[in-house]
Amino acid sequence: MVENTGTPVRSDSYRPVNLPEPVRVEENAAGLPLSVRLPRRQKITDVEDRWRIDDEWWRREPVCRLYYAVRLDSGQKLVLYKDMINGEWFKQGY
């Protein structure tokens, strides 16, 4: 059990979790991810799932992302997404 420290909770003490991190991804001609640099290059052996999110289209900065659940040659699972507006790649917690 966690001990109560008595410290009051403040709104500025919250931190976001699972923030996306920019990564370098090598793509094939069709735009599918082939490898990712984390910090060394790792080959993507399988794309297990793929989905697209288009949201907040009414805002100045809409969300348009193509997500991939991938498996690396090390066996690690990873979620990557490509920002379809600016073409940048990110990894996000699984």
Beta-bridge mates of residue 53: 65
Number of domains in the chain: 1
For position 94, what pLDDT does the model report? 66
Q: Is residue 21 part of a domain?
A: yes
Structural domain contains residue 2: no
Domain membership of residue 10 (yes or no) is: no
Q: Is residue 68 part of a domain?
A: yes
pLDDT score of 57? 86
| DSSP H or E segment with residue 68 | strand 63-72
> Structure pTM?
0.80
Q: Which helix (H) or strand (E) holds 65?
A: strand 63-72
Name the helix (H) or strand (E) containing 35: strand 33-37
| Residue 7: inside a domain | no
Average pLDDT over residues 46-60: 94
pLDDT over threshold 80, residue 43: yes
Q: First and final CA of the chain: distance in angstroms? A: 27
* Phi and psi at residue 41, to the nearest 5°: -65, 130
User: Is residue 56 included in any domain, yes or no?
Assistant: yes
Question: In Å, what is the CA distance from 10 to each residue of 2, 13, 15, 17?
Answer: 19, 5, 11, 17
> 5 in a domain, yes or no?
no
* Segment (H or E) for 51: strand 41-55
Residue range of the domain that includes 49: 17-92
Residue 67 lies in a domain: yes
